[in-house]
Amino acid sequence: MTPTIGIVTFPGSLDDHDALRAVEVCGLNAKPIWHGSDDLDGVDAVILPGGFSYGDYLRCGAIARFSPVMGEIIRRAEQGMPVLGICNGFQVLCEAHLLPGALIRNDVRTFVCRDQLLRVESVDTVWTNDFTEGQEISIVLKNGEGNYQADAETIRRLEGENQIVFRYLQQNPNGSVNDIAGVTNQRGNVVGLMPHPEHNVEELVGPSLDGRGFFTSVTRFLERVSA
């Protein structure tokens, strides 16, 4: 049976429909989930999309973290359900403590929007197992607060336990420590990154199709666990 991926819409989400389309383009079932629901309605995995949840008031993702749906997402993620946080979704995952660290204002003090070259650092996650370690991919980047930071001990742990998933290549666009573009939890089922793979699945709208690897990866994982 074809897996179903739920895409959460918060007030202020703007890439939720892009994520829904990307899921469908990559051959999966997509199901919208409203932030006010406390039921994931039988989905196999969840994507927290990009945007400006609750207008980015207080801190990016800080209010969205307390949406009713997040209680169930946290519970299911701790049981192993795949969760992908993209841009604002990454910020929400950090605020919910499903991922370590925090995202702060870009060091260049401007919104950055460009095609970004990344290196895949870990293929030991639900969302990256169809890539190869060291593979270089091009993914759209667009953020104003994508500067990933954590205390020195957390960074040492992430580096030592293979929890850095992506690094920026050629130029660090936002000041993230150690050029970190994405991280995972210890179990490898929760991944967050600032670039937008949902914008790189169709030739019409992107210079690469590298975003498809995220969706083929989760498909492989879900098919394996359901076999």
**pTM: predicted TM-score of the whole model, two decimal places:** 0.97
pLDDT at position 89: 98
What's domain 4-226's superfamily in CATH? Answer: Class I glutamine amidotransferase (GATase) domain (3.40.50.880)
pLDDT at position 174: 98
Q: Is 153 helix (H, G, I), strand (E, B) or coil?
A: helix
Neighbouring-strand partners of residue 102: 149
Q: Is 195 helix (H, G, I), strand (E, B) or coil?
A: coil
- Ranges in the chain, pLDDT < 50: none
CB within 8 Å of 128: residues ≥ 6 apart: 120, 122, 165, 191, 213, 214, 217
pLDDT at position 225: 87
d(CA 28, CA 218): 10
Domain assignments of the chain as residue spans, ordered by start = 4-226
pLDDT at position 9: 98
**Residues labelled as active-site residues:** 87, 196, 198
Phi, psi of 180 (to 5 degrees): -75, 125
pLDDT at position 72: 97
What tens digit of pLDDT does each residue of 123-140 get? 999 999 999 999 999 999
